[in-house]
A and B are shown apart, each in its own frame.
Chain A
Amino acid sequence: MGLTTQEMITALSPHICVQDLNVFYGDTQVLRNVNLLIPRRQITAIIGPSGCGKSTLLRSLNRLLELTAGVKLSCKILVDEIDIMDPSVDVTAIRKKLSLIAQSPNPLPMSIRDNVAYGPRINGMQILREPNGVDGVVERCLRSTGLWDEVRDRLNGPASRLSIGQQQRLCLARALAVDPEGLLCDEPTSALDPISADRVEKLLKSLSTDYTIVWVTHTLRQARRIADNVVFLFMGHVVEQGPAESFFNSPKEATTKAYLEGAFS
């Protein structure tokens, strides 16, 4: 294969490294001393009972959390060895690198084509300047999420008219259009019907060869199906994290064992 030493080091080093993350909503502390390593191009599932801060954790990875009023956080988050929490860093570039897929599909108030093209347009991406740049990007991304054949005749129609499963795939296509390195997925299938959920799940699995995926899920069964690595978050603490196999088969912590056995959910 012939990777240079540098490339090998990059490939083996964690993509995202979270150090001592503490998050407060006003006076309530939601995340305590979270330390995480997220490997490159694998699916890292964040599991745990609802209300434990999983979504908060996800949104701090690309600094989307700052949009919410009253949030205070302190930490270092290294993406490719660069601390993204540093004030001199361009926040919009980080969000391009790690793109968020929300739990409820949130299409923008525009046509399907404009939804996908939105990311590249606002970031002034090079690709748009090529002839057929926009259409090329739109087609490529819609194909990767399996939407192309379903919507090719109504690209100028409003995105809001799609079914909810299609909308979520659109949001995925939209995220891919900005050429991210990673996808942060907040329970991406929980709002969908079983058939669409299955489709999206398989889609994300196939994308994990090219993108780092951080996947928040509250169903253990899904986690078992998809995860390469697992992070167990409970009451704002990281209780345990590690490769999926050892996590599910031989958990170290008592709380983990209890959760896996369904003692609470």
Chain B
Amino acid sequence: MNGRILEEQLFNALMLSATFVVVGSLLVVVGVIIIKGAPALSLTMITETSSGGYLLGGAGGILNAIIGSLYLIAGSIGIASLIGLPVAIYLNEYAGTKLTHFARLSLDVLYGIPSIVYGAFAFTLMIVLGARESLLWGIITVAMLVLPIVIRGIDEVIQTVPSKLRDASFSLGATQLETGFKVVTRQVIPGIVTTVLLALGRGIGDAASVLLTVGYSDIIPTSLNNPVATLPLAIFFQLGSPYPHAQQRAYASAIILLGLVVMFSVAARFSTARFSKFVIR
């Protein structure tokens, strides 16, 4: 009998240790970044754009990267939602099972494709079309990256809608279009908002997709055709600078990026409450 108690205690210890490792890695990562970055964090960083020699330790801040990232993600999420919501609704309300299954599997694969591949793909298109690095291409690339996330998130929420809700709508004479876009969508608004916010968090932090397509710049872009600075690349380039002062600012930039991601995450959590007014439980 002692054997089985000993085994249980051993695995209890292992499980707790494993959980500590996972939770610990979160705390260590965030902790180190904050500790290292806090000294270099200043108001200038978030209110000024980079000067010419910024990456070499010159004056200025990374407002260009902050605004650049926000422009980029706003555009991408806009496109991804515009395409993603109707497609998700179509798959659930209209499509036959074969297409739906194929689409879902296909989207699963798209979901798993590394962002560098999206970047390489977009880069290829850019070469073929003779385009230069720009905000527009960044938006397109990140939209591609984020589209499967949006579709899958909305798809999953729509699947939880009880069929009696649809029945009620149909029995009042509504068409499938009206049921899909007026009834089902209202029911899953919290889920849609959560999905979009999570996709925002994912897209804004991704470096590989923008590395090849968006260039970099010291100024805030004035048109879609300008190259633009992004937060992930700002961090990456500042880290690569030979000047310690610039490296310090990389850590501070990481805090800013983390801050944005956390903001989106927290907003996702609270949006559920805010948007659930009309949802049927």
Q: Do A and B touch (CB < 8 Å)?
A: yes
Interface check A124, CB cutoff 8 A: yes
Interface check B1, CB cutoff 8 A: yes
A126 to chain B, nearest CB (A): 12
**How long is the Cα–Cα vector from A124 to B3 in the complex, in angstroms?**
10
Q: How many A-B residue pairs have CB under 8 A?
A: 4
Q: Which residues on A sit within 8 Å (CB–CB) of B281? A: none
Q: Which residues on A sit within 8 Å (CB–CB) of B3? A: 124
Q: Mark A114-140, 1 if CB is under 8 A from B, else 0.
A: 000000001010000000000000000
A97 to chain B, nearest CB (A): 16
A149 to chain B, nearest CB (A): 35
Q: Mark A88-129, 1 if CB is under 8 A from B, else 0.
A: 000000000000000000000000000000000010100000
A36 to chain B, nearest CB (A): 32
A106 to chain B, nearest CB (A): 23
What size tier do the contact residues of chain A reach?
A: under 10
Interface check B98, CB cutoff 8 A: no
For B, the interface residue count at a CB cutoff of 8 angstroms equals: 3
Q: Which residues on B sit within 8 Å (CB–CB) of A122? A: 4
**How long is the Cα–Cα vector from A122 to B4 in the complex, in angstroms?**
9
Residues of chain B in range 1-36 having any CB-CB distance to chain A below 8 Å: 1, 3-4
Q: Which residues on B sit within 8 Å (CB–CB) of A124? A: 1, 3-4
**How long is the Cα–Cα vector from A124 to B1 in the complex, in angstroms?**
7
**How long is the Cα–Cα vector from A164 to B3 in the complex, in angstroms?**
36
A125 to chain B, nearest CB (A): 11
**How long is the Cα–Cα vector from A124 to B4 in the complex, in angstroms?**
9
Find the B residue at minimum CB distance from A124.
B1
Q: Mark B206-236, 1 if CB is under 8 A from A, else 0.
A: 0000000000000000000000000000000
B2 to chain A, nearest CB (A): 10
B102 to chain A, nearest CB (A): 30
Q: Which residues on A sit within 8 Å (CB–CB) of B1? A: 124
B11 to chain A, nearest CB (A): 15
**How long is the Cα–Cα vector from A122 to B5 in the complex, in angstroms?**
12
Find the A residue at minimum CB distance from B4.
A124
Find the A residue at minimum CB distance from B1.
A124
Find the B residue at minimum CB distance from A122.
B4
**How long is the Cα–Cα vector from A124 to B5 in the complex, in angstroms?**
12
**How long is the Cα–Cα vector from A50 to B3 in the complex, in angstroms?**
43
**How long is the Cα–Cα vector from A122 to B3 in the complex, in angstroms?**
11
B8 to chain A, nearest CB (A): 12
A92 to chain B, nearest CB (A): 10
A10 to chain B, nearest CB (A): 26
A66 to chain B, nearest CB (A): 17
**How long is the Cα–Cα vector from A124 to B6 in the complex, in angstroms?**
14
B3 to chain A, nearest CB (A): 8
B5 to chain A, nearest CB (A): 11
Q: Which residues on A sit within 8 Å (CB–CB) of B4? A: 122, 124
**How long is the Cα–Cα vector from A122 to B1 in the complex, in angstroms?**
10
**How long is the Cα–Cα vector from A207 to B1 in the complex, in angstroms?**
30
**How long is the Cα–Cα vector from A229 to B146 in the complex, in angstroms?**
66
**How long is the Cα–Cα vector from A251 to B181 in the complex, in angstroms?**
62
**How long is the Cα–Cα vector from A124 to B7 in the complex, in angstroms?**
14
B56 to chain A, nearest CB (A): 60
B279 to chain A, nearest CB (A): 24
**How long is the Cα–Cα vector from A165 to B141 in the complex, in angstroms?**
58
Residues of chain A in range 215-237 having any CB-CB distance to chain B below 8 Å: none
**How long is the Cα–Cα vector from A229 to B1 in the complex, in angstroms?**
38
**How long is the Cα–Cα vector from A122 to B7 in the complex, in angstroms?**
13
**How long is the Cα–Cα vector from A134 to B4 in the complex, in angstroms?**
19
B217 to chain A, nearest CB (A): 56
Find the A residue at minimum CB distance from B3.
A124
B49 to chain A, nearest CB (A): 55
A121 to chain B, nearest CB (A): 11
**How long is the Cα–Cα vector from A73 to B4 in the complex, in angstroms?**
29
B261 to chain A, nearest CB (A): 33
The 4 A-B pairs with the shortest beta carbon distances in the complex, nearest first, are A124-B1, A124-B4, A122-B4, A124-B3
Residues of chain A having any CB pair with chain B under 8 Å = 122, 124
Pairs across A and B, CB under 8 Å, 4 listed: A122-B4, A124-B1, A124-B3, A124-B4
Residues of chain B having any CB pair with chain A under 8 Å = 1, 3-4
